[in-house]
């Protein structure tokens, strides 16, 4: 078995590359599908087309959180500000986020600072766009956004973290760790993450437990696949898009753990690979629930307290994880 710190670093590098840095993903992923290769198991194209239309919405009508989740979804599916089929929508939406950010790093809509949860996902989207696109003009805005989160978390009127804030802080801390030599925000992001975990409101107990388990995996803890599935995978994939996304992130972690071990010459049980494939296959029910006609074609109905756009964007990230994870027989 690999030493814990080496195993954790390998897994963290792989997971962040998979989710947040499309240019880096090529070194871990199979080559893109060609006429000689099968297409991804889950067709995300209708959803990405629907999300890309958000660029045509007037900036004043775009909710900050929905915009941020959309940017993350387009990034997760292989585009950046520089490359990919959705680079133009990303540029337009990120420009909207830049316009909405004030000099303190907070995101403001119609003259009113957004709620803290929206600040978290917007800061995450700004940071991931910078990391994925290597777009230097976003660096000070990313750093400023993380600084604003610190002020919001530790100010005199601060309240306990929500699960959404905690999940965003988990991903933000991991990304900051990968880009630590550039952004200089690793310590601050870790501080926010640890405080978010210590103060998090339980809310939906199953979702909270899933989020805590995901953080444990990202910190290098090793758990059997069946425990990860039991603690993170929701019974109803359409009821709560954040819970479903947490489950997909946790499954990705399990696969990255297996890949990291295999790369070091360790044998990964075939039974575990089959179990992972079977678990991903349950996403068929998620795809079946996607609307196929009318003005909402390609999207999912609002769920879990999120609007239609945010719900759809989170499901798009989930499908991107299922399609992009190497080594899983998703087409079978």
pLDDT tens-place string over residues 58-112: 776 789 999 999 999 999 998 999 999 999 999 999 999 999 999 999 999 888 8
Confidence of residue 331 (pLDDT cuts 50, 70, 90): very low
166, burial (CB in 10 Å: exposed 0-12, middle 13-18, buried 19+):
buried
203: its two tokens: 């809310």
CATH value of 4-28+41-324 in 1.50.10, 1.10.287, 1.10.10, 3.90.460: 1.50.10
Rounded to an integer, what is the distance from CA 50 to the centroid of its chain? 19
Q: Is the pLDDT confidence value at 20 over 50?
A: no
pLDDT (average), residues 251-255: 81
Q: What is the pLDDT of residue 329?
A: 23
Q: Is the pLDDT confidence value at 11 over 60?
A: no
327: its two tokens: 């080594």
Q: Which of 324, 325, 317 is nearest to 71 (CA)?
A: 317
Question: Do 274 and 226 form a contact (C-beta atoms < 8 A)?
Answer: no
Q: What is the pLDDT of residue 40?
A: 66
Name the pairing type of β-strands 108-109 and 112-113: antiparallel
Question: Do 145 and 122 form a contact (C-beta atoms < 8 A)?
Answer: yes
Q: What is the pLDDT of residue 56?
A: 83
Q: What is the pLDDT of residue 261?
A: 53
Q: Return the residue matching tokens 């909270």.
A: 208
pLDDT (average), residues 251-258: 75
Confidence of residue 212 (pLDDT cuts 50, 70, 90): very high
High-pLDDT (> 70) share of the chain, %: 77
User: Could you give phi then psi for residue 328, rounded to 5 degrees?
Assistant: -95, 130
Rounded CA-CA distance 184/173 in Å is: 11
Distances 10 to 66, 146, 189, 261, 262 between C-alpha atoms, Å: 32, 25, 20, 9, 12
Detail the DSSP E strand segments found in the chain.
Answer: 108-109, 112-113
């Amino acid at each position: 078995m690999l030493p814990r710190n080496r195993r954790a670093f390998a897994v963290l590098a792989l997971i962040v590359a998979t989710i947040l840095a499309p240019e880096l993903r090529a070194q871990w992923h199979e080559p893109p599908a060609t006429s000689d290769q099968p297409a991804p198991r889950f067709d995300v194209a209708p959803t990405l087309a629907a999300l890309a239309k958000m660029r045509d919405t007037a900036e004043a009508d775009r909710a900050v959180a929905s915009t941020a989740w959309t940017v993350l979804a387009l990034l997760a599916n292989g585009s950046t500000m520089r490359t990919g089929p959705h680079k133009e929508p990303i540029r337009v939406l990120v420009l909207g986020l830049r316009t909405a950010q004030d000099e303190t790093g907070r995101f403001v809509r119609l003259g009113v600072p957004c709620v803290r949860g929206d600040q978290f996902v917007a800061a995450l989207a700004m940071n991931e766009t910078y990391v994925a696109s290597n777009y230097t003009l976003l660096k000070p805005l990313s750093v400023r956004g993380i600084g604003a989160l610190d002020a919001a978390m530790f100010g005199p009127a601060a309240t306990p973290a929500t699960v959404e804030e905690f999940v965003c802080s988990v991903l933000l801390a991991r990304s900051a760790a990968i880009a630590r030599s550039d952004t200089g925000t690793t310590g601050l992001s870790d501080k926010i993450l640890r405080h978010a975990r210590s103060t998090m409101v339980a809310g939906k107990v199953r979702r909270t437990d899933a989020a805590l388990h995901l953080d444990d995996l990202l910190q290098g803890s090793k758990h059997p696949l069946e425990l990860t599935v039991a603690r993170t995978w929701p019974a109803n994939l359409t009821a709560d898009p954040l819970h479903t996304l947490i489950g997909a992130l946790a499954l990705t972690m399990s696969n990255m753990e297996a890949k990291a071990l295999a790369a070091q010459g360790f044998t990964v049980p075939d039974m575990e690979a089959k179990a992972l494939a079977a678990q991903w296959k349950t996403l068929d029910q998620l795809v079946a629930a996607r609307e196929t006609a009318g003005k909402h074609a390609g999207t999912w109905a609002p769920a879990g307290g999120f609007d239609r756009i945010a719900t759809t964007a989170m499901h798009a990230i989930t499908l991107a994880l299922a399609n992009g994870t190497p080594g899983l027989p998703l087409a079978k």
